[in-house]
Amino acid sequence: MTFLATTFSDIFKSSFLDKVTSVSILDMVIAMVLSFCLGLFIFFVYKKTCQSVMYSTGFGVTLIALTMITAFVILAVTSNVVLSLGMVGALSIVRFRTAIKEPLEIAFLFWSIAVGIVLAAGLIPLAVFGSVIIGIVLMLFVNRKSFTNPYIIVLRVNDEKAEKAACEYLNGKVKKCMVKSKTVTKGMIEMNIDIRLLDESTGFVNELAGMEGVESAVLVSYNGDFMA
């Protein structure tokens, strides 16, 4: 029966092997090398603009890996429509449970994914120049130092007289002074006061803590969000 007859070459004739050359080796190399370079640039920008209390090297390396992974996934998807449908179904079951500590980290994650997609789509100039512009913008705005950075003073005083004297002193030493919260107990008043410094000097906190009736004065830097 002739329909059962097969040759050695027929065994290896399949649509799977035909798809091996659907993406050229040169395209693969260019996409992976550029995705690594741009991922490294994103990592560098993240390192320079990180505002977390604890800097995470693992998250920075993840940005590089995410750029490269996205690039080769999109290369595979663009080479085969059927594969793209299967990839959507496979990725839909992935769940990420790692908490994002800073809102800015979300921007870096989307940046890495976007670069991988754009590179794999062949829009190399857009990926390169877009990344450079985004990096410059982040470096300029995130790292901008200003004396108007928000601070909180946690002030504990013994009575209302000491409270009044401390607030009057603060008003003369800072640019802005506004009470955010106030807790009163027997023999103790605790206030959280939002302030803006006139300059880099914080010596006024020492003088404030030494005033009569003031138990303690703690200066804390924060991101501008406050929950009473």
Per residue in 169-194, pLDDT (tens digit) is: 888 888 888 888 888 888 888 988 88
What is the Cα–Cα distance from 37 to 28, expressed in whole angstroms?
A: 14
Does residue 42 lie in a domain region?
yes
- CA-based nearest residue to 107, from 55, 158, 142: 142
Per residue in 64-102, pLDDT (tens digit) is: 888 888 888 888 777 665 555 556 555 555 566 666 667
Number of domains, the chain = 2
What is the Cα–Cα distance from 84 to 107, expressed in whole angstroms?
A: 25
> Helices 81-91 and 57-79 sit at what angle, rounded to 10 degrees?
150
Does residue 2 lie in a domain region?
no
Per residue in 5-44, pLDDT (tens digit) is: 455 455 444 554 455 456 677 878 888 899 999 999 999 9
What is the Cα–Cα distance from 158 to 213, expressed in whole angstroms?
A: 5
Q: Say whether pLDDT at 108 is over 80.
A: yes
Pair (54, 137) in one structural domain: yes
Q: What is the side-by-side strand order in the sheet with 188-197?
A: 174-185, 188-197, 150-157, 214-221
- Residue 196: give the domain boundaries: 150-221
Does residue 10 lie in a domain region?
no
Pair (103, 156) in one structural domain: no
Write down the mean pLDDT value for the chain. 77
Pair (50, 25) in one structural domain: yes
